[in-house]
Structure 1
Amino acid sequence: MNRAVFLDRDGVINEVLTNRVKFVNKPKDFYFLPGVPEAIEKLNRSFDYIFVVTNQGGVGLGFMKETQLIKIHEHMIKELKKFGAIIHDVAFCPHKPKEGCECRKPGSKMIMELGERYDVDLSKSYMVGDTDTDIIAGKKAGTKTVFLGRNDPLADAIFQDLSSAADWMIADAGIQ
């Protein structure tokens, strides 16, 4: 079976609620956080798959259309390739917050479906996020969890950025 890293998008891969950008509703609003392309490229060398799993309630709330969201993800994937970094698949929940769907994190449906589709051993995989909903989703799916930020009592590990987290996941997984 394969090993994977599941990444939340906003606040893990790209800026959100910063001086430069409030929300990412167009490709031009998409800015990588420092060191992210290099961290993903490093993870590519050690894990079979890198996925993005993201709640995108802006679609359900009418701030953007699903086609716009897909263009943002295509832009992200294209820009990452310039660094030799690959995202193998992107799963997103387009529903409004509190709509009660099964796919929205803290639900684990997006992780579970990607795991099944790509024959991933979730117990040897990682979910990286910057909110408790990301960590809860990873726990429900059976992955190890990494929180980016100050503190999350449920997370298996806590780091300030994806670069530091990548080094830890590679070491923790025992991958050379």
Structure 2
Amino acid sequence: MKYAKIAIILILLITSCTAKKITEFENGIISFRNCPDGGMCNVEQIRDSQISLQEDTTGQMYPKIDKSNTYHLYKLTFTKEVKEDVMDAEYQEVIYFQIEKSKTFRKLNNKALDRAKVIYGRQCHCPGETGFEAILSGSLLFETFRQVTEIHLEIKPDTLPVEMNKALTKVTFHD
């Protein structure tokens, strides 16, 4: 009887520590692997939203985010650390994709990435190497289990250079 009480106390202590670790991370990020050196990576969920790629009057592509009853939008961002005293030194890469709210698992490869509307964007002062494009080469694995979402993403843009071509992240999104 005495050993049973000690075992129960130990189990409660172990499970309470594990549950606490998941919610203590800033922005809900548990881990983010393959973030390029010299910058910060982030992932966020834009609830009840979907994305499309539009073309402006100059022929440049840009993402358009709309409200949705069907999808949640996900945004992975790599922001490079730059010198503060250098003008126009900002550098950011962003990858968007959308997943149906009802899905807890999605695995897509190459042209099937269009079902998730995977879009890559590069924003920097690098003439001819900025903009947005649809991604139809790579892979996406999305899985949610017990409030933890795991994302494995690998992209191969056709026209734009990329530093964050792989992302492996575990995150918990708070309502």
TM-score by length of 2: 0.27
| Structure (1/2) with the larger helix percentage | 1
* Structure with larger RCO (C-alpha < 8 A, sep 6+): 1
Please identify which structure carries the higher strand content: 2
